[in-house]
Structure 1
């Protein structure tokens, strides 16, 4: 049995195989191998070897003409066998011009030595593209040679890509300021960047292994090697060291950092690290450390100086406080003098009217002349009412008056006063009320009425020849700088403004307009308490009063009240003043430490038919109340001697008698809790001085009411 297939025996040998066979037959007995190949069996094996697709084989003569080629080479060059057999295909045609010199040199070597040294070159394909090949040629005889060609294009592309990557990486390394290096596991360097070589002026050879340690400060070499000692457990390398800089002839601080490069299976290949210059940071840190000591010393010295200065300032402040206290005392005495002088002037006038009227009555009664006594009693009562009004104004200014605040609509209050104000200011004043704002506030409606009327009268007096008077209710949002300017907490406010176009006030006059007993009117025309009363009432209601005035242009006084949510409280109407309230068998307890006031109240209530018991203080009142069979009304002064006030007495009695009616009587009510107490059911407040007729009406009103009058 033969290895040669029958169909192969019938095939004629290729020109290349034929040429090889002839060359072998002429070569002599030393080429037994080629003789074997020339046999039928050998030719088959040779042809099978030349058909390997990975290796191209060509046969060419000494002129360079390609006589034959295997299929692998034809695939590489993209020529057909017909084009090969046409005889126009040469190795010169397949060689680029830039490779022609090297190819001629290899061809000369082939002719001279019979073979070429293997080398790589580019070939040109039929379509003009190129491929890289590794080739080696050998002569078969003087006229014929063959060449093995291996396509290495993919390897060359990979090598070129790798080269580009390495060039890019090297460019990147050359661009960064750090000194880059590569090392084996125990700190033996295998490569150093140009920055390292330039900075240390070491050669690449002297830096390899542990030679790089020569550039480190001797005291830092141990630290560097200790960093390598911890590398395996830490998974990183980090240490600071000083590196020699020959250019500046000094050591500079660097921070060393390195990370491992691992292969498959987490096998450590090498370390890649950097040296980063931190010399400036270290110098700054050392400077800060040195400066800290100096700073602490300077701070200590400065602290002593400041302590001495503080002591001097404290001494100066103490002296200034003493001077300010003396000045304040002087101003207080001046203010008290002005206040008491004004009060004394007004009260002396009132007392003169009262005492004079009473003396005339006394003389007439003593002489038996009783006709016309009503005239003098009315004069005395008039002076008493004026005195009461004066005390109310003083209390309003000092924000100590008793108020009965309710939720009201100031627009409605002003609307009800419009006719009264119009008649008061007279026909020469044109009154305009702008009452579009219907928001509510919490204040004493009676005091608001007095304030608006008072401001309207002041405006009338500022326009003796007539003019325009505007009363306006408006909403204001006050916050930020405006709140500071108005001296008010930020929030929503309702403004009650009274504006005239009269004479106006100079700045110094406007600044004192709210001062007590300050007035620009003649002594007989005003007490100087009107605006101070308005100011005190507004502040006591949680608001603020402000004046804006210019000489010749007029004045605006605005009262700011905090806006309140809720509906206006409906106030029960007062009883008809012409009705004489009479008793219906009710019992009343009257408690007051002032004997004359107590006796007068008891007498007038008894005259009306009430059963009245009197007490001088809270303890006495409690004992009297517990002894009474029934008690309908408690009339008590708020300020009683002893530990029990009138309010305490009312609370104790109401714990036993929940339906007890209480009328508080006071001449000084600066107690917020009392104002809250008066808002309770069946409770009212009567301010001294009061008329006995008003006392009787208040008692009757309490007895007749069925609902809370708050």
Structure 2
């Protein structure tokens, strides 16, 4: 017999032995139980059940086992069908060692065992109860099990969720700890209160400052109201701020306390639903910033003062020549008048008087230009028909620019009404035409155009004026033009391209200042060799607004009725002149050198004339207020040698009041008196 045949015979014998053991186990099972009942229970039970029998295999003694018996639920729980008669190492060779170790321990010791283990081949987790079948020589172990894969997965998922939650809690706690650490050591003073003003939190810096200011160190759970007990004023202010925050308002307040400045930012505290549950406060010490700002303001003031001093220097060098010439003319005319009076030659006096008056008027005009440059001259705007104004100036402009220059006017006459000061606009227009004349020494053409336009957002922003309707008064010349550099500096004070002594450089500055104060703008367009266009944007007024009535005859009005007038003027020569002029018109004039003297005077005046700058502790505005406290409807004429806007401290003129700027003509004085009395 060959070795191969011998091996085959041995295998057949082994199979017969195993089959015999299986039959004996079945017979033993059936013999030890009531066959029908236990077979029914065995086949219908929910748990998987099997009996395994160990045998010696190629891997050593008791290294394998065979399933000698299995119920129907075995396949449902283990996922393997027809297991009876199958060997472990043939079924799951990769897992055989683990299962042999488990059940082999039960076979050797006889101790039952419960465990859970995954059957990798099917991916199921089994909960197993196993015990040895006696006697031990049978080498049999009973296995009862069920599929707990879903429970195991749920437990694993729950475990993973718990681990994730633990990780998130750890991260949140770390973040909270970090934020708490940052807040605790922040430079900001942090306070948090609930709706009952009980401290929820307060950081170290805030608690330290609170103790320094109020002698108490608040902690979480303390009442803010009680912590401020003994400081009623501070308590009242603090409660007002916190109540605003608890009402839902977020705001910032700058508080000065104990010579220090604090920026306090109050914010409501809301829950996840958006309901207000409290409020919190961040306080920053901004004392250093405020101090630096104050230093910066002082430096800016010093810079502006230096600029003013520089401007004064430029003024001295730029217009001293003009003033000296004007004063020389006035003094010379007066000296000649004295000589003519001594020589009894009266025939030359009118001409000398005209010369002195002309020089004085030119000096006054120069002062008005300076005030216009500062944008502080007193304006008296009124609805003005620009077309009529330009038409009325046509002859004056033509004479001023000379016969070699043609003056052409183009404008729509139907709706050219602006709210402007007419004399100032006339002066500005004449100034621009004279500048145009100087740019055309060989002659040329000046075109004056009036148009109406609506300034939209972009153009209005570029011109730095509000959006709306404007009148554009354009003065165009055919002269030499200007470079971009000169255009950029054209409205600067004292800037001029003319030779020294011929111009002060205040003309365009005066025009620009007048327009800006009037709510308008000046725009310059020019190219070298192509002429210049000056556009004056004026605030438009509907034509339905009534125009200013024509002036009445002041002399006729003044002489019609005698009125009682109180005059307050500290300069005796001017006081005497005004008194004499008004008395010549038939009025009763009571003059005073200061306010207290005037207030002590008897009788009720029908007109008060007062200088704004007065000695004696009361200025003209205060004198007028005192008089009007007695007689509310009393008309007032203010006269001043300073700028009226500045001396009135920016306050508007009261009703039935006018301002007359020195120097003024007697005719202007009489007209203003007549208007007020009328």
TM-score (norm 1): 0.53
Aligned equivalent of 1:473: 450
Q: 1:240 is matched with which residue: 158, 161, 178?
A: 161
Q: Which has the larger radius of gyration?
A: 1
Query: Offset at 1:209?
Result: 6.8
Structure 1 position 669 matched with structure 2 position 644? yes
Q: 2:361 is matched with which residue: 385, 398, 414?
A: 385
Query: Offset at 1:457?
Result: 2.2
Q: 1:639 is matched with which residue: 613, 619, 622?
A: 613
Aligned equivalent of 1:399: 375
CA contact (8 A) 2:555 2:585 kept: no
Query: Offset at 1:581?
Result: 6.1
Aligned equivalent of 1:121: none
Query: Offset at 1:388?
Result: 0.9
Query: Offset at 1:552?
Result: 1.4
Alpha carbons of structure 1 residues 336 and 283: separation in structure 2 relative to 1, 3 Å: farther
Aligned equivalent of 2:94: none
Aligned equivalent of 2:150: 212
SS in 1 for 2:367: helix
Alignment of 1:16-415 (within 5 A): 202-203=123-124, 211-215=149-153, 220=158, 240-241=161-162, 331-415=307-391
RMSD: 4.6
SS in 2 for 1:515: coil
Query: Offset at 1:417?
Result: 2.9
CA contact (8 A) 1:399 1:670 kept: no
CA contact (8 A) 2:612 2:647 kept: no
Aligned equivalent of 2:114: none
SS in 2 for 1:357: helix
Q: What do the CA deviations read for 1:124-160 (whole angstroms, capped 9, x no partner)?
A: xxxxxxxxxxxxxxxxxxxxxxxxxxxxxxxxxxxxx
Structure 2 Cα separation of the partners of residues 300 and 659 of structure 1: 67
Structure 2 Cα separation of the partners of residues 208 and 466 of structure 1: 120
Residues matched between the structures, number: 445
CA contact (8 A) 1:436 1:474 kept: no
Moved more, 345-354 or 515-524: 515-524
Alpha carbons of structure 1 residues 695 and 211: separation in structure 2 relative to 1, 3 Å: same
Query: Offset at 1:385?
Result: 0.5
Q: 2:529 is matched with which residue: 552, 557, 561?
A: 552
CA contact (8 A) 1:437 1:473 kept: no
Q: What do the CA deviations read for 1:217-262 (whole angstroms, capped 9, x no partner)?
A: 77955xxxxxxxxxxxxxxxxx9346xxxxxxxxxx6x9xxxxxxx
Q: 1:688 is matched with which residue: 656, 662, 674?
A: 662
Q: What do the CA deviations read for 1:514-547 (whole angstroms, capped 9, x no partner)?
A: 1233222234543322211111111111222222
Structure 1 position 502 matched with structure 2 position 483? no
Structure 1 Cα separation of the partners of residues 120 and 421 of structure 2: 91
Structure 2 Cα separation of the partners of residues 341 and 657 of structure 1: 49
Query: Offset at 1:335?
Result: 2.4
Query: Offset at 1:384?
Result: 0.8
Query: Offset at 1:651?
Result: 4.4
Query: Offset at 1:466?
Result: 3.6
CA contact (8 A) 1:408 1:569 kept: no
Structure 1 Cα separation of the partners of residues 512 and 121 of structure 2: 87
Structure 1 unaligned residues grouped into runs of 5+ = 1-196, 222-238, 243-252, 256-281, 305-309, 706-710
Structure 2 Cα separation of the partners of residues 378 and 362 of structure 1: 15
Q: 1:518 is matched with which residue: 495, 515, 530?
A: 495
Moved more, 428-437 or 390-399: 428-437
Structure 2 Cα separation of the partners of residues 688 and 300 of structure 1: 68
SS in 2 for 1:495: strand
CA contact (8 A) 1:632 1:660 kept: yes
CA contact (8 A) 1:394 1:529 kept: yes
Q: 1:448 is matched with which residue: 425, 428, 433?
A: 425
CA contact (8 A) 2:322 2:501 kept: no
SS in 2 for 1:598: helix
Aligned equivalent of 1:561: 538
CA contact (8 A) 1:403 1:675 kept: no
Alpha carbons of structure 1 residues 201 and 451: separation in structure 2 relative to 1, 3 Å: farther
Query: Offset at 1:508?
Result: 2.0
Structure 2 Cα separation of the partners of residues 674 and 360 of structure 1: 43
Structure 1 Cα separation of the partners of residues 296 and 608 of structure 2: 55
Query: Offset at 1:602?
Result: 1.4
Query: Offset at 1:459?
Result: 1.9
Query: Offset at 1:692?
Result: 2.6
SS in 1 for 2:590: strand
CA contact (8 A) 1:432 1:471 kept: yes
Structure 2 unaligned residues grouped into runs of 5+ = 1-117, 128-144, 189-285
Alpha carbons of structure 1 residues 528 and 619: separation in structure 2 relative to 1, 3 Å: same
Alpha carbons of structure 1 residues 692 and 633: separation in structure 2 relative to 1, 3 Å: same
Alpha carbons of structure 1 residues 516 and 217: separation in structure 2 relative to 1, 3 Å: same
Aligned equivalent of 2:513: 536
SS in 1 for 2:393: helix
CA contact (8 A) 2:124 2:149 kept: no
CA contact (8 A) 1:437 1:475 kept: no
SS in 1 for 2:600: helix
Structure 2 Cα separation of the partners of residues 321 and 446 of structure 1: 38
Aligned equivalent of 1:621: 598
Alpha carbons of structure 1 residues 614 and 302: separation in structure 2 relative to 1, 3 Å: closer
SS in 2 for 1:635: strand
